[in-house]
Each structure stands twice: as C-alpha cells, then as structure tokens.
Amino acid sequence: MADEGKISTSAVDDQGTTESEGRALLRQLRDEGFEGSDAKLAVALGRPLEEVEGWMGGAEPVDDDVVMKARGIAGERGITIE
C-alpha cells in the first residue's frame, strides 16, 4: 500500500515507541480489551471512530497521547501490552 511508506519510524513517545509499535499496541488493546471493535476502542480513547480506523489501516499517524492513553487503559483492564 502506498500509505505504508509514509509510516514514521521515529519515536512517538519518551519510551522510544515507534509509530509501528504504537499501532501494534493499539491493535492488541483493541483485540484483547474491546472485542476487536474499533468503535469500542474509539469510545474508550475519546477519539473519533474514523481516527481509530485510520490508525488501524495505517492512514493516520499514531501520536504520543494515544499511546499513553492506551497503556493506561490496558493497565486498568489488566492487559499486558508492549
């Protein structure tokens, strides 16, 4: 896909998480904590469904705020992600 070439490999947070790793983290949280539902994950993160779908498809960049929120939600739900 053409958009995949635009995915940044630079860190999106202070832990050195790359955009690709952040996207994988979000997918794991969605699959394990929200029944694989982009819509349920969007509500939990307080983000529009279209943005979550963009992250999952690689069209939207993953930022540090969403990675931090995802880690926090995972911790609250007892889900180990990384």
Whether residue 8 has pLDDT greater than 60: no
Neighbour count for residue 16 (Cβ, 10 Å): 9
The pLDDT tens digits for 35-67 are 999 999 999 999 999 999 999 999 999 999 999
**Which residue do the tokens 């940044």 mark?**
8
Whether residue 9 has pLDDT greater than 80: no
Q: Which two tokens stand for residue 12?
A: 């999106």
Q: Which two tokens stand for residue 21?
A: 């790793």
Q: Is 28 helix (H, G, I), strand (E, B) or coil?
A: helix
E strand intervals along 18-76: none
Which residues sit opposite 11 in a β-bridge?
Answer: 18
The model's confidence at residue 10, banded by pLDDT at 50, 70 and 90, is: low
